[in-house]
């Protein structure tokens, strides 16, 4: 911050008592009575009460403070005074108070419906709740990048506009591309596989798009996808990398943002306990567990929200379910040599019923099998020629995974709805603002 100004968070940490300080930010609350205005100012680090008294500031400053509505941007200076009654234990007694940008009547008041808050998302984004979540998200992403870098991964930048589907046609967003047909990426995986041949370990953080036609609390039409791809790695080692990554992200967030997490209702010490290993259940074991717990679940079925909740009951940490039946998974996975009905793959389920956070697998290296599966699912082969080429030039065992950032944040920040883990949610019925 510009040397003349101090962040409120630093000021509240102490050491400024009875000294002069200047802050800037936005009016969070304000009330005035006669010769005194009590203005609570927020910046990115905290809130501070500022007392503006007639006579202690130039008259124009006092009038400005009195008239300024909430969300006006302001800068002020004065003396820092310890005051137990003030939020945070300190207040600033103003010697100057300048309104930088005035504010109209703020459209978000005490009464607010969900719909109203979503319509005014561009303003509601300033709320303490969303600010906390965005801070935790930033920390989790920083921790992820740190982990990838320590584990010899290169960050790469795959395309978002693609000519083929990765996860099946039913959730594809189609777009006109100079007279041709193209799609918004569902996953960077196929491109990461191509880049793995030179860099061995790659990762990318990109938006992924899914035209999810159902309204749920865990699906977005646009989400942030953190994907890794690793040469010379099999399915079990792939899971080991994933649990280390998840652990680094959630413990990193807990260390950087304990206060924000507590305010969101998440005890940071729970997150600090998320250390490897995570339990691994085969799909077969999962079927048995579900049946033992009373579900009418048959081998071959795809576990839904309720089954995922039942599977992690009594578990404190995330749980891997590995080697699913082929019919319920994507075409690119490697067939399990010990049980050809299944693929070498795994989903990581969050605790407390938050559901799937990661989907990953070892990849099929046999080009002929890939062709057969693409044909079987009715996909045209031309758009996949480049991908099939990868099996013709130095194919090796490799694995990868995709982590839904908002799915992880929903769990970490204890959010009912996934939309509050992304600033501008895109869902089936919303693309504004
Ligand atoms: O399980 P998915 O579909 O797997 C893939 O896309 C692989 N190609 C990834 C890879 O191996 N590189 O999606 C991966 C993750 C899911 O586990 C989930 O966390 C998240 O992406 N996800 C969504 N998040 C929010 N909204 C949606 N509609 C999502 N669909 C998937
Ligand atoms: Mg999946």
User: Between 405-412 and 235-256, two packed helices, what is the crossing angle to 10 degrees?
Assistant: 50
| CA 234 to centroid of chain Cα atoms | 27
Give me the phi and psi of 105, to 5 degrees please. Answer: -65, 120
Q: Is the pLDDT of residue 111 over 90?
A: no
pLDDT, tens digit, for every residue of 10-42?
A: 999 999 999 999 999 999 999 999 999 999 999
Q: Is 404 close to ligand 1, i.e. is its CB under 6 Å away?
A: yes
Under DSSP, is residue 401 helix (H, G, I), strand (E, B) or coil?
strand
> Which among 404, 411, 412, 415 is the best mutation to test ligand 1's pocket, defined by most ligand atoms within 8 Å of the CB?
404
Q: Which residues surround ligand 2, an ion (CB under 5 A)?
A: 359
Ligand 1: nearest atom to the Cα of 400: 11
> Which among 153, 187, 350 is the best mutation to test ligand 1's pocket, defined by most ligand atoms within 8 Å of the CB?
187
201, 401 Cβ separation under 8 angstroms: no
Region 76-88 average pLDDT = 94
421, 406 Cβ separation under 8 angstroms: yes
Q: Is the pLDDT of residue 1 over 60?
A: no
360, 403 Cβ separation under 8 angstroms: no
Q: What is the 197 CA–ligand 2 centroid distance (Å)? A: 25
d(CA 75, CA 233): 55
Give the pLDDT band of residue 4 (cuts 50, 70, 90): confident
Q: What is the 84 CA–ligand 2 centroid distance (Å)? A: 51
CATH 2.40.50.140 domain span(s) along the chain: 8-101
Q: Is 201 close to ligand 1, i.e. is its CB under 6 Å away?
A: no
Q: What is the 404 CA–ligand 1 centroid distance (Å)? A: 6
CATH topology for 8-101 is OB fold (Dihydrolipoamide Acetyltransferase, E2P) (2.40.50)
CATH 3.30.930.10 domain span(s) along the chain: 121-421
Q: What is the 350 CA–ligand 1 centroid distance (Å)? A: 14
> Which among 223, 246, 348, 362 is the best mutation to test ligand 1's pocket, defined by most ligand atoms within 8 Å of the CB?
223
For residue 189, the ligand closest to its alpha carbon is: 1
Which tokens sit at 381?
């082969």
Give nearest CA residue, ligand 1 atom 11. Answer: 401
Detail the DSSP E strand segments found in 178-231. 180-184, 201-209, 222-231
Ligand 1: nearest atom to the Cα of 361: 11
pLDDT, tens digit, for every residue of 263-289?
A: 999 999 999 999 999 999 999 999 999
From residue 63, give the alpha-carbon distance in Å to each of 29, 53, 66, 130. Answer: 17, 10, 5, 32
Ligand 1: nearest atom to the Cα of 229: 12
**Chain mean pLDDT for the chain:** 97
Region 145-151 average pLDDT = 98
Which tokens sit at 126?
């300033």
Residue with the two structure tokens 């944040």: 409
pLDDT, tens digit, for every residue of 171-230?
A: 999 999 999 999 999 999 999 999 999 999 999 999 999 999 889 999 999 999 999 999
Confidence (pLDDT) at 178: 98
Q: What is the 222 CA–ligand 1 centroid distance (Å)? A: 11
Q: Which CATH superfamily hosts domain 121-421?
A: Bira Bifunctional Protein; Domain 2 (3.30.930.10)
Q: Is 222 close to ligand 1, i.e. is its CB under 6 Å away?
A: no
Contacts for 278 with CB less than 8 Å, ≥ 6 apart:
239, 243, 246, 317, 318, 319, 320, 348
> Which among 201, 205, 207, 208 is the best mutation to test ligand 1's pocket, defined by most ligand atoms within 8 Å of the CB?
208
Q: Is the pLDDT of residue 395 over 90?
A: yes
Q: Is 401 close to ligand 1, i.e. is its CB under 6 Å away?
A: yes
Per cent of the chain over pLDDT 70 is: 99
Ligand 1: nearest atom to the Cα of 227: 12
Give nearest CA residue, ligand 1 atom 22. Answer: 404
Q: What is the 178 CA–ligand 2 centroid distance (Å)? A: 32
Q: Is 248 close to ligand 1, i.e. is its CB under 6 Å away?
A: no
Ligand 1: nearest atom to the Cα of 189: 12
Give nearest CA residue, ligand 1 atom 17. Answer: 358
Tallying the residues shown for the chain, one arrives at 433
Q: Is the pLDDT of residue 94 over 70?
A: yes
Q: Is 362 close to ligand 1, i.e. is its CB under 6 Å away?
A: no
Give the pLDDT band of residue 139 (cuts 50, 70, 90): very high
> Which among 407, 408, 419 is the best mutation to test ligand 1's pocket, defined by most ligand atoms within 8 Å of the CB?
407
Region 299-311 average pLDDT = 98
pTM of the model: 0.97
Query: Using omega within 30 degrees of 0 as the cis cutoff, is the peptide bond preceding 433 cis?
Result: yes
Confidence (pLDDT) at 109: 87
Q: What is the 9 CA–ligand 1 centroid distance (Å)? A: 37
Confidence (pLDDT) at 112: 85
pLDDT, tens digit, for every residue of 65-77?
A: 999 999 999 999 9
158, 192 Cβ separation under 8 angstroms: yes
Ligand 1: nearest atom to the Cα of 192: 12
Sheet holding 154-155, edge to edge: 154-155, 201-209, 222-231, 398-404, 355-362, 345-350, 319-322, 279-282
């Amino acid at each position: 911050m510009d040397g003349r100004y101090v962040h409120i968070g630093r000021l509240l940490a102490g050491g400024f008592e009875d000294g002069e300080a200047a802050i800037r930010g936005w009016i969070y609350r304000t009330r005035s009575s006669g010769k005194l205005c009590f203005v609570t100012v927020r910046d990115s680090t905290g809130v501070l009460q500022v007392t503006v008294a007639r006579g202690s500031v130039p008259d124009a400053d006092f009038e400005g403070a009195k008239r300024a509505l909430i969300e006006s941007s302001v800068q002020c200076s004065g003396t820092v005074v310890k005051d137990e009654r003030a939020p945070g234990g300190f207040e600033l007694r103003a010697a100057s108070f300048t309104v930088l940008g005035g504010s109209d009547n703020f459209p978000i008041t005490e009464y607010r419906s969900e719909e109203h808050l979503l319509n005014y998302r561009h303003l509601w984004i300033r709320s303490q709740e969303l600010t906390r979540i965005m801070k935790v998200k930033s920390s989790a992403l920083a921790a992820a990048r740190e982990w990838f870098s320590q584990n010899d991964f290169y960050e790469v930048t795959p395309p978002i506009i693609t000519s083929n589907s990765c996860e099946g046609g039913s959730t594809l967003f189609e777009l006109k591309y100079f007279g041709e047909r193209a799609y918004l990426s569902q996953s960077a995986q196929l491109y990461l596989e191509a880049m793995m041949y030179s860099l061995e370990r790659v990762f990318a953080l990109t938006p992924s798009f899914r035209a999810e036609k159902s309204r749920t609390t865990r699906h977005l039409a646009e989400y942030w996808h953190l994907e890794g791809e690793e040469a010379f790695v099999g399915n079990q080692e792939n899971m080991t990398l994933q649990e280390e990554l998840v652990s680094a992200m959630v413990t990193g967030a807990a260390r950087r943002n304990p206060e924000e997490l507590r305010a969101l209702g998440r005890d940071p010490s729970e997150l600090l306990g998320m250390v490897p290993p995570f339990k691994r259940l085969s799909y077969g074991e999962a079927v048995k567990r579900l049946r033992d717990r009373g579900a009418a679940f048959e081998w071959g079925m795809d576990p839904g929200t309720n089954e995922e909740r039942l599977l992690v009951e009594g578990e404190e940490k995330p749980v891997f379910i590995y080697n699913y039946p082929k019919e319920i998974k994507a075409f690119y996975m490697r067939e399990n040599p010990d049980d050809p009905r299944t693929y070498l793959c795994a989903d990581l389920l969050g605790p407390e019923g938050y559901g799937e956070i990661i989907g990953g697998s070892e990849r099929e290296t046999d080009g002929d099998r890939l062709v057969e599966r693409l044909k079987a699912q009715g996909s045209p082969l031309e758009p996949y020629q480049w991908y099939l080429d990868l099996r013709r030039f130095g194919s090796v065992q490799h694995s990868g995974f995709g982590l839904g950032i908002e799915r992880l944040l929903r769990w970490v920040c204890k959010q009912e709805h996934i939309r509050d883990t992304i600033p501008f949610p895109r869902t089936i019925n919303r693309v504004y603002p």
